[in-house]
Amino acid sequence: MEHITARAREKVAKKVSRVLARVDRADLSTGAPSRPLLGLPVERFIPQDVHSVLDYAGGATGLVAAYCAKTDRARIVNSTLSTATTGASLLTDYKLSLAKIIPIEVHEALDYAWGLSNVVAPFALGYYRKDRVVSMVQIALGLGTIAASLFTDYRAFSRHRSNARSNAQRPERTTRSHAKRRGSKKK
């Protein structure tokens, strides 16, 4: 039995090392680091790519909360806010989106607004007492989004920057069309 456990440990260790090697090779979003938020000395250590997964998970959690809600107001607010954050995530300039329409700086502001809306809505719309569990989930989701946004290093995603070397590192290659534009012939 002991040799089976050792063999199983070896297999698990190999699989874990392969996964860690993939993570090390992963091409995370690149670009200029985020500016400090309001001059606060907050280190932004959550990669934007991880944050994008958190955005979709938050939207899904809000939809589940809407489904479980006892009151119509809680159901409508949770489904509206969840649809809004998922829609914004699908249109934001990062890897896990369908279209790169919303700049990442606007998305960051939307994250703060969405988080604050989730915290305030149960009290402002009066369903906190009637729907406590859903309200607590919604408040936790809002506070979590605000906290994650504070620590996220937002960097705009660009296929050109992430999949290729920067122009400074790229060797100059002159093609015929390149040479024509520069007014010289290819040698």
Per the CB < 8 A criterion, the answer to whether 140 and 32 are in contact is no
Split at pLDDT 50, 70, 90, the class of 25 is low
- The average pLDDT across 113-142 equals 95
Return the percentage of the chain with pLDDT > 70, whole number. Answer: 65
Q: Give the CA distances from residue 146 to residues 6, 48, 115, in Å, rounded to whole numbers and listed in that order.
A: 44, 14, 6
User: What is the pTM assigned to this prediction?
Assistant: 0.65
Per the CB < 8 A criterion, the answer to whether 29 and 48 are in contact is yes
Q: Please, which residues have CB within 8 angstroms of residue 150's CB and are 6 or more apart in sequence?
A: 37, 42, 44
Place of tokens 């809002």: 142
Split at pLDDT 50, 70, 90, the class of 41 is low
Tell me which of 23-32, 90-99, 111-120, 143-152 is least confident. 23-32
